[in-house]
């Protein structure tokens, strides 16, 4: 199965124009045979805001039909799209990633872990119904956002819920280089899943993003990395590989079963709040 990610600059300060651009790129990816394309965190709206009022003014209102160009692209071509944006929902402001398919919005993931920086200082954490893992015609897709890669429990929960591909829209600056260089590989390998992260490579309000959007295989090996280049980048993956949760070198002699050998009863401390 062919999957893609996009790495290029949004139309700064223009949510509608960026939404139209995302729809255009989704159609391009579909025409090349891709079944899914992912875009970065807060891509439609930008992420650098100095107050809640300006963030809300730029935010996507799904009920108003703001995502319709992307919905139409998915409907017309059959592609699946993951894209990030700040969302206005009633009196809430949310950091959201939408999974959109041919039938419409398959699911929304709202960022639960919020660093105290840029626009995330002003958004809310809504009640969470459960892990953001969604059944689609192309496989089980788990969604997380940017900073959530730092929490191993997030990726593990998605994998335990059956995610075969984790998609993580990101907005990583150069100071976060360790995340794509190390954390993505670890999250993929420890959970035996494909891991796709779409990051920005432009400058937003003086913050330089580092690019390096990538796909990692279930063995922790990097399949593709965009560096700082602009474009749509694609790879072929086999989701069947993400359904194998054991390493068997020599049957009956050398077998490793990390899924079977888990001892969740001994990990209770992981559910307790940290005391610093």
Phi, psi of 153 (to 5 degrees): -65, -30
Q: Whose CA is closest to 193, among 156, 164, 235, 236?
A: 164
Structural domains of the chain sorted by starting position, each given as residue range(s) with its CATH number in brackets: 2-246 (3.60.110.10)
Residue 123 has pLDDT above 70, yes or no: yes
Residue pair 101/90 in contact by the 8 Å Cβ criterion: no
Q: Whose CA is closest to 229, among 241, 218, 214?
A: 214
How many Å separate Cα 143 from the centre of its chain?
5
CB atoms within 10 A of CB 164: 23
At 189-203, the pLDDT tens digits run 999 999 999 999 999
At 39-54, the pLDDT tens digits run 999 999 999 999 999 9
What single DSSP character describes residue 180? Answer: I
> What percentage of residues in the chain have a pLDDT greater than 70?
99
The residue assigned the tokens 């939408």 is 98
Q: CA 35 to CA 1: how far, in whole Å?
A: 7
Q: CA 145 to CA 52: how far, in whole Å?
A: 20
- What's the token pair of residue 126? 């809504």
CB atoms within 10 A of CB 185: 18
Q: pTM to 2 decimals?
A: 0.96
What Rg value do the Cα atoms of the chain yield, rounded? Answer: 18
The answer for residues whose C-beta is within 8 angstroms of residue 264's C-beta and 6 or more apart is none
pLDDT of residue 272: 85
Average pLDDT over residues 247-254: 91
Q: CA 141 to CA 240: how far, in whole Å?
A: 13
């Amino acid at each position: 199965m062919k999957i893609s990610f996009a790495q290029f600059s949004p139309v700064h300060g223009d949510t509608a124009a960026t939404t139209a651009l995302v729809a255009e790129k989704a159609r391009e990816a579909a025409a090349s045979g891709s079944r899914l394309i992912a875009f970065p965190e807060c891509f439609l709206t930008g992420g650098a805001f100095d107050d809640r009022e300006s963030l809300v003014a730029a935010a996507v209102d799904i009920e108003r039909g703001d995502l319709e160009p992307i919905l139409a692209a998915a409907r017309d071509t059959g592609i699946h799209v993951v894209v990030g944006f700040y969302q206005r929902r009633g009196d809430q402001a949310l950091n959201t990633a939408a999974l959109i398919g041919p039938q419409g919005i398959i699911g929304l993931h709202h960022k639960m872990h919020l660093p105290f920086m840029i626009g995330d200082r002003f958004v809310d954490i809504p009640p969470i119904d459960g892990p953001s893992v969604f059944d689609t015609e192309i496989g089980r897709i788990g969604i997380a956002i940017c900073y959530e890669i730092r929490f191993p429990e997030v990726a593990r929960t998605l994998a335990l819920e059956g995610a075969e591909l984790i998609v993580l829209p990101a907005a990583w600056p150069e100071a976060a280089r360790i995340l794509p260089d190390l954390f993505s590989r670890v999250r993929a390998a420890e959970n035996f899943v494909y891991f796709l992260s779409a990051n920005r490579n432009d400058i937003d309000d003086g913050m330089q993003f580092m690019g390096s959007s990538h796909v990692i295989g279930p063995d922790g090996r990097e399949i593709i990395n965009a560096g700082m280049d602009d474009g749509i980048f694609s790879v072929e993956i086999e989701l069947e590989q993400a359904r194998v949760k054991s390493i068997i070198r020599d049957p009956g002699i050398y077998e490793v079963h990390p899924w079977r050998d888990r001892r969740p009863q001994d990990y209770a401390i992981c559910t307790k709040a940290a005391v610093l």
